[in-house]
Chains A and B, each alone.
Chain A
Amino acid sequence: MSISRREFIQQMLSLGVSAAVVAAALSILDCSSQPFPGPGSDNTTPPPPPPPPPGDAAYLAVARGESPRAMVEAALAALGGIERFVRPGNDVIIKPNICVSFRTPEYAATTNPEVVGALVALCLGAGAGRVRVMDNPFSGSAEEAYPTSGIEEAVRSAGGEMEVMAGMKYQDTAIPYGQKISHWPIYRDILETDVVIDVPIAKHHGLARLTLGMKNLLGVVTNPGALHTDMPQKLTDLATLVRPHLTVIDGVRILMNNGPSGGSLSDVKMANTVIASHDIVAADAYAATLFDLQGEDIGAIRAAAHRGLGTMDLDAIKIEEIPVGA
Chain B
Amino acid sequence: MASEGKQRDSRAGGTGLLSWRRLRRASQILALVLFIYLLLNVRRDGGGWLAHDLFFRLNPLAGMATMLAARQWMLPLALGGVVLALTLLLGRAWCGWICPLGTVLDWARPPRRLQRRVSLPPQWRQTRYLVLFAVLFSALLGSLAFMVLDPVTLLQRSITSAILPATHSVVAWSEKLLYRFQPLQTPLEHIDGFLRDTVLPLEQPFYLPALLVLAVFGGVLALNAIKPRFWCRYLCPLGGLLALVSRVSLMRHAVNREACTACQRCARECSLEAIPSSGTFVAHPAECTLCLDCLESCPTGAISFRAGTPPAEPAPGGISRRAALASVAAIGLGAGLLRLAPVLGKAEPLTLRPPGTSETDLRQKCIRCGQCINVCPTGALQAGVLKSGYDGLWTPVMVPRHGYCDFACRRCGEVCPTGAIPLLSLEEKRRAVIGKAEIDKSRCIPWANGLNCIVCQEMCPLTEKAIELSQATAANSEGYQTALLLPEVIEERCIGCGICEHQCPVRGEAAIRVRRA
| Contact call A167/B197, Cβ cutoff below 8 A | no
A322 within 8 A of B: no
Secondary structure dominating the interface of A: loop
What CA separation (Å) do A30 and B180 show in the bound complex?
10
| Contact call A168/B404, Cβ cutoff below 8 A | no
Encoded as 1 (CB less than 8 Å from any A CB) or 0, chain B from 437 to 479 comes to: 0000000010000011111011111111100010000000100
From B74-82, B311-319, B405-413, the one touching the partner chain is: B405-413
A271 within 8 A of B: no
B499 within 8 A of A: yes
Partner of B179, one of A169, A206, A259: A169
Encoded as 1 (CB less than 8 Å from any A CB) or 0, chain B from 219 to 235 comes to: 00000000000000000
From A8-16, A54-62, A113-121, A140-148, the one touching the partner chain is: A140-148
Within 8 A of B (CB), among A161-183: 164, 166-169
Partner of B505, one of A164, A225, A263: A225
B176 within 8 A of A: yes
| Contact call B192/A207, Cβ cutoff below 8 A | no
Most buried by B among A140, A142, A231, A264: A140
Partner of B180, one of A33, A139, A206: A33
| Contact call A205/B179, Cβ cutoff below 8 A | no
What CA separation (Å) do A166 and B191 show in the bound complex?
11
Interface range on chain A (Cβ under 8 Å from partner): 35 or more
Q: B405 CB to closest chain A CB, in angstroms?
A: 10
B503 within 8 A of A: yes
B51 within 8 A of A: no
| Contact call A102/B408, Cβ cutoff below 8 A | yes
Partner of B192, one of A139, A142, A143, A168: A168
A262 within 8 A of B: yes
A29 within 8 A of B: yes
* Chain A residue nearest to B178 in the complex (CB): A168
What CA separation (Å) do A59 and B457 show in the bound complex?
36
| Contact call A228/B453, Cβ cutoff below 8 A | yes
Partner of A264, one of B404, B460, B463, B469: B463
Contacts A228-B454, A263-B463 known; A139 to B404 CB distance under 8 Å?
A: yes
Partner of B464, one of A32, A167, A258: A258
Chain A residues in 8 Å Cβ range of B469? 206
| Contact call B407/A139, Cβ cutoff below 8 A | yes
What CA separation (Å) do A102 and B408 show in the bound complex?
5
What CA separation (Å) do A70 and B458 show in the bound complex?
32
| Contact call B196/A164, Cβ cutoff below 8 A | yes
Chain A residues in 8 Å Cβ range of B504? 225
| Contact call B451/A139, Cβ cutoff below 8 A | no
B120 within 8 A of A: no
| Contact call A164/B407, Cβ cutoff below 8 A | no
Q: A187 CB to closest chain B CB, in angstroms?
A: 12
| Contact call B172/A168, Cβ cutoff below 8 A | yes
| Contact call A231/B409, Cβ cutoff below 8 A | no
| Contact call A29/B408, Cβ cutoff below 8 A | no
Chain A residues in 8 Å Cβ range of B197? 143, 164
What CA separation (Å) do A264 and B192 show in the bound complex?
38
Chain B residues in 8 Å Cβ range of A36? none
Chain B residues in 8 Å Cβ range of A259? 458
| Contact call A101/B406, Cβ cutoff below 8 A | yes
What CA separation (Å) do A231 and B482 show in the bound complex?
13
Partner of A168, one of B188, B453, B457, B503: B188
B202 within 8 A of A: yes
What CA separation (Å) do A102 and B463 show in the bound complex?
11
What CA separation (Å) do A206 and B468 show in the bound complex?
9
| Contact call A229/B505, Cβ cutoff below 8 A | yes
Chain B residues in 8 Å Cβ range of A167? 172, 175-176, 203-204
A-B contact pairs, 25 of them (CB 8 A): A29-B180, A30-B177, A32-B180, A33-B180, A100-B408, A100-B461, A138-B459, A139-B459, A140-B406, A140-B407, A140-B409, A143-B202, A144-B377, A148-B408, A167-B175, A167-B203, A168-B188, A206-B457, A207-B452, A207-B454, A207-B458, A230-B451, A230-B452, A231-B452, A259-B458
Known contacts A166-B193, A167-B203, A263-B463, then 10 further A-B pairs from the complex at CB < 8 Å, ordered by chain A residue: A139-B459, A139-B499, A141-B203, A143-B197, A143-B202, A166-B192, A167-B204, A206-B458, A225-B504, A230-B451
4 smallest A-B Cβ distances: which pairs?
Answer: A263-B463, A102-B408, A168-B175, A207-B454
